[in-house]
């Protein structure tokens, strides 16, 4: 029988586990500190715990439910980690270092069931949801691997986060806990293609992590060809829900828009985007298309990208080009597939 991982519990749940084993609440605080401040994953190394509790943890739980199988480093410093899960499924996460922060792009599912035409993950099919421990484990493993603490987390890796709602929110709650990894809620972004069922729950529960929506086309018929799941969640319905979110949270919605030549880059697309995004507090991130195996799209040239950007010169919301990182190691937006078995560079 597979052991449970301690990384999959919120602090109050960990307290319950410790108390059930005959320990005290302060022992739970010690374990929490070992796991998330010291990044120690071996119970036998938790030297200030009673021996009986250490033995219990070793016998009943695993700590890290995954293994870094290999890594690739980009010329721009980005590093992609191939992560093996307990059942030999694989996911990828990406370390994106900057001068004053280290962002980790994490996966929430092995594969994806929504099959967006421009995304390598969807082409690999859906395997399973990740458990909260496997999502949190990407953060702790990446911190240890990189030798620096992760400061920002984006749920923009493999999978649709709101299709795995409970485990994603649970993992974000653990990651943001002030007494542990302490990555603030404003430094955690959860991305969705527009999963209205998950968004409604997100609003009802008043979850306060940052929200990003993958838009990529402002016309339903064209968007549905890129993102087949849009047929279930048309833009009219999506924007009604997003307006409710913006009103309740008092936050902007960040929209992601991958530019594809001849697909979504005309003045007509820009005008419709301006109309849609002006209906609520918004920010628009324009993103270069990154080629994927079997992909049918072409990125815009710098000249055409600038032309599209200039269509937004008089908008009431900010529009920026999001810098691309890790394209040379297939770590950029839409390129994660977990199908490369490369060795760790020496």
Mind telling me the catalytic residues? 92, 333
Q: Strands 79-85 and 126-129, how do they pair? A: unpaired
> What residue spans of 61-195 are helical by DSSP H?
120-123, 132-146, 165-176
DSSP assignment of 197-222 equals: HHHHHHHHTT--SEEEEE---SSHHH
DSSP assignment of 303-337 equals: HHHHHHHHTTTT-SS-EEEPPP--GGGT-STT---
Residue 243 near residue 281, CB atoms below 8 Å: no
- Rounded to whole angstroms, the Cα distance separating 26 from 69 reads 35
DSSP state of 266: S
Q: Which two tokens stand for residue 21?
A: 């084993």
The SS3 assignment for 176 reads helix
- Rounded to whole angstroms, the Cα distance separating 66 from 41 reads 12
Residue 344 near residue 336, CB atoms below 8 Å: no
Residue 122 near residue 112, CB atoms below 8 Å: yes
Q: Which two tokens stand for residue 284?
A: 């628009």
Q: CA Rg, the chain, in Å? A: 21
Q: Which two tokens stand for residue 252?
A: 């902007």
- Rounded to whole angstroms, the Cα distance separating 81 from 69 reads 7
- Rounded to whole angstroms, the Cα distance separating 319 from 32 reads 40
Residues β-bridged to residue 277 = none
Residues 6+ apart with CB under 8 A from 165: 198, 201, 202
């Amino acid at each position: 029988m597979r052991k449970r991982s301690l990384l999959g519990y919120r602090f109050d749940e960990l307290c319950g586990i410790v108390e059930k084993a005959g320990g005290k609440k302060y022992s739970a605080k010690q374990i929490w500190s070992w796991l998330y401040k010291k990044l120690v994953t071996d119970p036998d190394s938790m030297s200030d715990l009673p021996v009986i509790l250490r033995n219990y943890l070793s016998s009943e739980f695993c700590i890290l439910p995954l293994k870094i199988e290999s890594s690739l480093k980009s010329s721009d410093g980005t590093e992609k980690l191939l992560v093996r899960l307990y059942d030999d499924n694989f996911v990828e996460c990406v370390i994106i270092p900057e001068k004053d922060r280290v962002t980790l792009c994490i996966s929430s599912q092995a594969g994806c069931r929504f099959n967006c035409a421009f995304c390598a993950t969807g082409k690999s099919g859906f395997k399973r949801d990740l458990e909260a421990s496997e999502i949190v484990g990407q953060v702790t493993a990446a911190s240890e691997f990189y030798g620096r603490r992760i400061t920002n987390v984006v749920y923009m890796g493999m999978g649709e986060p709101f299709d795995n709602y409970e485990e994603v929110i649970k993992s974000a709650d653990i990651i943001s806990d002030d007494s542990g990894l302490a990555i603030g809620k404003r430094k955690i972004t959860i991305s969705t293609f527009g999963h209205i069922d998950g968004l409604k729950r997100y609003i009802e529960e008043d979850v306060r992590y940052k929200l990003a929506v993958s838009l990529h086309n402002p016309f339903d018929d064209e968007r549905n060809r890129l993102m087949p799941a849009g047929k279930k969640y048309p833009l009219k319905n999506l924007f009604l829900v997003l307006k409710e979110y913006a009103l309740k949270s008092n936050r902007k919605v960040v929209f992601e828009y991958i530019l594809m030549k001849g697909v979504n880059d005309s003045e007509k697309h820009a005008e419709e985007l301006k109309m849609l995004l002006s209906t609520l507090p918004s920010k628009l991130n324009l993103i270069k298309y990154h080629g994927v195996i079997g992909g049918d799209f072409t990125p815009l040239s710098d000249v055409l990208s600038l032309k599209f950007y200039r269509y937004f010169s008089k908008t009431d919301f900010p529009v920026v080009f999001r810098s691309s990182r890790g394209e040379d190691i297939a770590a950029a937006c839409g390129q994660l597939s977990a199908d490369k078995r490369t060795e760790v560079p020496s």
